[in-house]
Amino acid sequence: MAWRLLRPTVSAVRAWVNGQLLADAHQPVVQVSDHGFTVGDGVFEAVKVVDGRPFALDRHLARLLSSTAGMGLPLPDEDAVRRGVDAVLAAEHLTLGRLRITVTGGPAPLGSGRGDAAPTIAVVAAPMPPAASSARVATVPWPRNERGALAGLKTTSYGENVVALAEARRRGADEAVFANLAGHLCEGTGSNVFYAVGGELRTPTLASGCLAGVTRALVLEWVGAREVDEPIEVLLQADEVFLASTTRDVQPVSHWDERDLGEPGPLTRAAARVWREREAEVLRSRGPDAGPSR
């Protein structure tokens, strides 16, 4: 019943596709031959919306362009994407929401080869519930490939994440975390990991294959942490662990596998406090990094 209350209504979801704001966000507009649909050939960004304004939009668009280039897709018109952002946010005021920007390879022959059609660009906005006060995490047995072609890119090829998250939820957890091929701590399905050992806050380097999270980068700037790659077993020594992501902000981890980490520790509490304060400052400033889009 709770899920039904939190599920966005059809009227609250707004969508803009290839320059057009849709009257019905659920009407069919993407071709079945779209390469994003057939083989996951696409990239995306998820942006937090607070009181109708996208947070850290400039950073997200910079990463979108970086992921697009890494996939070898034509770079989207950034001004067009910003117009799409403005259109969906003007159509439905969101007190707290999620904005998703997706760029795919567009219609193409069935198979891995790309066609010569223009990319598909879609922007969707919908309400989202506040993040839970803490998370339970499960380590999954499948490794991230830090040497793979998609390492560090935010692509729509999320099959591994879907399987890993389903396994975590089967075990009563909210998030799944991967090691990489070297056996080092890497990332969650949709989050970066921070942990404290001996009073020092640490997080994996980007060389681990983890995503260059926007929230991760801001935590490093605003709070500080040592970037280091260590065997995932280091978490057995960790006094504190928290996740960082667009939809979680700074979220304490209460349980890691069977280990009870207890209440949030001092470094986690400090990071969460600094995040709340600095995020509010950015939103009040109405600077270009908080939106509205240029």
Task: Find how far residue 46's CA is from the centre of its chain.
Answer: 5
Please, are residues 144 and 209 in contact by the beta-carbon 8 Å criterion?
A: yes
pLDDT classification of 294: cutoffs 50, 70, 90 = very low
Residue 109 burial class via C-beta count within 10 angstroms: exposed 0-12, middle 13-18, buried 19 and up: exposed
Which pLDDT tens digit goes with each residue over 208-258?
Answer: 999 999 999 999 999 999 999 999 999 999 999 999 999 999 999 999 999
Which pLDDT tens digit goes with each residue over 19-65?
Answer: 999 988 888 888 999 999 999 999 999 999 999 999 999 999 999 99
CA dihedral 80, 82, 88, 91 (to 10 degrees): -100
Per the DSSP assignment, residues forming a β-bridge with 54 are 49
How much is the pLDDT for 88?
A: 97
Please determine, for residue 267, whether its predicted confidence score (pLDDT) is greater than 70: yes
Class of domain 14-127: alpha beta
Q: Which residue in the block uniquely carries the two structure tokens 């890119």?
A: 153
Return the CATH fold of 135-282: D-amino Acid Aminotransferase; Chain A, domain 2 (3.20.10)
Give the global pTM: 0.91
Q: Per-domain residue ranges for the chain?
A: 14-127, 135-282
Amino acid at site 34: D
Tokens of 162: 């879907």
Q: Which residue in the block uniquely carries the two structure tokens 């890497």?
A: 186
